[in-house]
């Protein structure tokens, strides 16, 4: 069997779609992909292909795959590979390479055209990377790549395959690769006692808690212990936006969520690393009155920024499956605690008539429009990301994706393309600012060509809002690069060029209806004031629960 045919046959067991950009060193593999019945989606930039693979993995939890040629094609994948690494997304990246006889020796800078030693470049941002120079090695290495990407804390792997290896013939052998699983014995009797005695417990749900609200043991746990919960930015894709949900924590998080953390006496953190963006700079003011149970499958994340009373290294399903049997089966209600949280929410309501509230009102309007519809919501990076994260509401079978740890502008549009193929939503809703929009604007053509129904929402403040806000505070209002030297093209003309409907949501959102967006591609321009800000946000040298604009916190007890 031809090597490229084998790779395509094997990948067909993992995914039904592969993203990429054509090139001579990858052409045989792309040909095999198409011939073997896998849908091949060509983006218009390799970075977009990598982001599409990330969006596919993030929305579905399954393996995302992107392919590229060697040299510039491979290096263009780097930003997406880093995104996959920092957000723990299972992705396989396959790069073509020049034929083995064209590869440079250790002294030459380059030998073959478009030859780049991609393995040395990507090693710090992959779980595993390898260049297969012998055809007989491909079966073992491909299996290893797939297993490593999906096992334990997930992440990206990269496989570099020279052109002549792709075209070689191999004889398949029986492959008995077995996943390596740690046997974890947990001492949970004391943890159970702490949970049972807590009067104000709170769950913090992070990006590593995928499938938590579908886990039988967790749902049984909530039945007896209906604990309120907050989410990190990446945890928003794994929560149910109703009932006991208190909002997103962090520097730009919901005030009520940060105050809930401040007031709790027990914080149970599931799959979140509790970094500085969540805790603020003054770590001792993060959950100062609480014991902390930290559950994470990555030992390196335990006791890193926040010292836990009970650091537990395991997957969330393992934790709840072993915890539930040792808990008492007395039903808790937490009436007093929920009364406190209700009071906090009432004191945290923002002024919806304020000129700064336009993006919040818009996100809330769109969320309510599709609350009972299966959608994928993607957000870019910057102010738009926090506006969406603070006000989003979704049905249980919808998903929210964004670039978290790497924080890459230009993510939203190509990631929503990937997400469309992963979960069969009725619509993708892609939010971005006028900066990130222009970073992968070419993917509007992918939407058009693939006939993907999408509401592409661009907040226009004619600048890079988050940077502008920082410059106003730290650089005396010198807006170099964020306002000065920055411009925005005519969005209605762009919509026409890509055969999209166009709506200017200046102040009245009422013309935007579900029927008007459903099954169509629509570019929605949302003008916001240039001095737009995120409300609330952490003030300099203030504790995370005391965000600005400041409110009187004397009601707390």
pLDDT tens across 338-360, in order? 999 999 999 888 766 788 889 99
pLDDT value, residue 64:
97
Range of weakest confidence among 104-108, 237-241, 441-445: 104-108
pLDDT tens across 82-124, in order? 999 999 999 999 999 988 877 777 777 777 787 789 999 999 9
Q: Predicted confidence band at 523 (pLDDT cuts at 50, 70, 90)?
A: very high
pLDDT value, residue 178:
46
Of 469 and 103, more confident: 469
pLDDT value, residue 140:
93
Q: Do 3-166 and 189-347 fold alike per CATH?
A: yes
pLDDT value, residue 541:
83
How many C-beta neighbours within 10 Å does residue 347 have?
Answer: 14
Measured CA to CA, the distance from residue 128 to residue 119 in angstroms comes to: 9
Range of weakest confidence among 78-87, 251-260, 300-309: 300-309
pLDDT value, residue 143:
95
Give mean pLDDT, residues 302-325.
90
Mean pLDDT of the chain, nearest integer: 91
Give mean pLDDT, residues 169-189.
61
> Which of helix, strand or coil describes residue 28?
helix
Residue that the structure tokens 């590229």 belong to: 68
CATH fold for domain 355-527: Rossmann fold (3.40.50)
Measured CA to CA, the distance from residue 519 to residue 451 in angstroms comes to: 9
- In 252-366 the beta strands, taken as DSSP E runs, fall at 266-270, 291-296, 310-313
Measured CA to CA, the distance from residue 472 to residue 225 in angstroms comes to: 46
pLDDT value, residue 444:
98
pLDDT value, residue 55:
97
Residue pair 521/445 in contact by the 8 Å Cβ criterion: no
pLDDT value, residue 174:
65
Domain positions in the chain are: 3-166, 189-347, 355-527
pLDDT value, residue 175:
56
> Which of helix, strand or coil describes residue 82?
helix
Q: Predicted confidence band at 554 (pLDDT cuts at 50, 70, 90)?
A: confident
Q: Distances in Å between the alpha carbon of 297 and those of 154, 179, 209, 313, 391?
A: 10, 16, 10, 5, 29
pLDDT value, residue 186:
54
> Which of helix, strand or coil describes residue 427?
strand
Going by the DSSP 8-state scheme, the letter that residue 539 receives in this structure is P
pLDDT value, residue 177:
46
pLDDT of residue 238 exceeding 70, the answer is yes
Helices 383-391/358-369 angle, 10° precision: 50
Pair of tokens at residue 464: 């890079």
CATH fold for domain 3-166: Rossmann fold (3.40.50)
Measured CA to CA, the distance from residue 24 to residue 8 in angstroms comes to: 17
Measured CA to CA, the distance from residue 65 to residue 19 in angstroms comes to: 6
Q: Tell me the CATH architecture of domain 189-347.
A: 3-Layer(aba) Sandwich (3.40)
Measured CA to CA, the distance from residue 249 to residue 259 in angstroms comes to: 9
pTM of the predicted model as reported, rounded to 2 decimal places: 0.92
Measured CA to CA, the distance from residue 330 to residue 193 in angstroms comes to: 12
Measured CA to CA, the distance from residue 459 to residue 443 in angstroms comes to: 18
Residue that the structure tokens 């006791």 belong to: 303
pLDDT tens across 180-234, in order? 444 444 568 889 999 999 999 999 999 999 989 999 999 999 999 999 999 999 9
Measured CA to CA, the distance from residue 418 to residue 410 in angstroms comes to: 14
Measured CA to CA, the distance from residue 204 to residue 246 in angstroms comes to: 10
pLDDT of residue 289 exceeding 70, the answer is yes
Measured CA to CA, the distance from residue 70 to residue 117 in angstroms comes to: 9
Please state the φ and ψ torsions of residue 503, each to the nearest 5 degrees. -135, 135
pLDDT value, residue 555:
87
pLDDT of residue 13 exceeding 90, the answer is yes
The secondary structure of 162-215 as a DSSP string is EHHHHT-B-------------------HHHHHHHHH-SSEEEEE-TT-TTGGG-
Pair of tokens at residue 528: 């916001």
Picking from 478, 472, 479, 524, the residue whose alpha carbon sits closest to that of residue 500 is: 524
Measured CA to CA, the distance from residue 229 to residue 419 in angstroms comes to: 26
Residue pair 76/54 in contact by the 8 Å Cβ criterion: no
Long-range contacts of 121-127 (CB under 8 A, 24+ apart): 121/75, 121/78, 122/78, 122/81, 122/158, 125/78, 125/81, 125/82, 125/85, 125/156, 126/81, 126/85, 126/155, 126/156, 126/157, 126/158, 127/85, 127/155, 127/156, 127/157
């Amino acid at each position: 069997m031809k090597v490229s045919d084998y790779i395509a046959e094997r990948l067909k067991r993992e995914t039904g779609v592969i993203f990429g950009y054509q090139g001579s060193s990858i052409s045989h593999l792309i040909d095999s992909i198409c011939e073997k019945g896998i849908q091949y989606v060509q983006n218009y930039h390799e970075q977009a292909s990598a982001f599409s693979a990330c969006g596919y993995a993030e929305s579905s939890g399954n393996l995302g795959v992107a392919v590229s040629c060697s040299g510039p094609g491979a290096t263009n994948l780097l930003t997406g590979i880093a995104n996959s690494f920092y957000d723990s997304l299972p992705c396989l990246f396959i790069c073509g390479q020049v034929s083995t006889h064209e590869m440079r020796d250790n002294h030459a800078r380059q030998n073959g055209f478009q030859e780049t030693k991609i393995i040395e470049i990507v090693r710090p941002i992959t779980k595993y990377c390898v260049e297969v120079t012998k055809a007989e090695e491909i079966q073992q290495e491909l299996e290893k790549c797939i297993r490593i990407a999906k096992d334990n804390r997930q992440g990206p792997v990269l496989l570099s395959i020279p052109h002549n290896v792709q075209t070689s013939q191999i004889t398949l052998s029986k492959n008995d690769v077995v996943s390596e699983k740690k046997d974890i014995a947990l001492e949970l009797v004391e943890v159970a006692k702490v949970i049972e005695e807590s009067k104000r417990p709170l769950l913090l749900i992070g990006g590593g808690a995928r499938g938590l609200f579908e886990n039988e043991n967790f749902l049984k746990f909530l039945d007896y212990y209906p604990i309120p919960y907050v989410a990190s930015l990446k945890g928003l894709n794994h929560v149910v936006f109703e009932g006991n949900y208190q909002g997103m924590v962090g520097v730009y998080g919901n005030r009520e969520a940060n105050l809930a953390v401040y007031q709790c006496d027990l914080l149970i953190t599931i799959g979140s690393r509790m970094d500085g963006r969540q805790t603020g700079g003054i770590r001792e003011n993060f959950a100062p009155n609480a014991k902390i149970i930290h559950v994470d499958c990555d030992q390196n994340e335990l006791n890193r920024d926040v010292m836990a009373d009970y650091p537990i290294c395991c997957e969330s399903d393992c934790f709840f499956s072993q915890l539930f049997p040792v808990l008492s089966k007395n039903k808790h209600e937490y009436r007093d605690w929920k009364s406190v949280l209700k009071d906090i929410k009432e004191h945290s309501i923002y002024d919806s008539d304020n000129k700064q509230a336009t993006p919040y009102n818009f996100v809330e309007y769109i969320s309510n429009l599709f609350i009972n519809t299966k959608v994928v919501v993607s957000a870019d990076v910057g102010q738009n990301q926090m506006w969406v994260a603070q006000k989003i509401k979704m049905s249980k079978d919808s998903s929210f994706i964004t670039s978290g740890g790497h924080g890459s502008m230009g993510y939203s549009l190509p990631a929503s393309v990937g997400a469309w193929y992963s979960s069969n939503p009725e619509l993708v809703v892609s939010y971005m600012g006028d900066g990130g929009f222009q970073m992968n604007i070419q993917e509007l053509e992918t939407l058009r060509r693939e006939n993907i129904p999408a509401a592409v929402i661009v907040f226009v403040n004619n600048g890079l809002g988050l940077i502008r806000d920082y410059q106003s505070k730290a650089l005396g209002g010198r807006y170099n690069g964020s306002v000065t030297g920055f411009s925005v093209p005519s969005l209605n003309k762009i919509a026409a060029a890509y055969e999209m409907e166009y709506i200017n949501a200046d102040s009245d959102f009422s013309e935007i209806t579900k029927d008007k967006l459903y099954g169509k591609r629509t570019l929605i321009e949302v003008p916001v004031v240039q001095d737009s800000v995120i409300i609330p946000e952490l003030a300099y040298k203030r504790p995370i629960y005391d965000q600005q604009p400041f409110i009187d916190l004397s009601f707390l007890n």
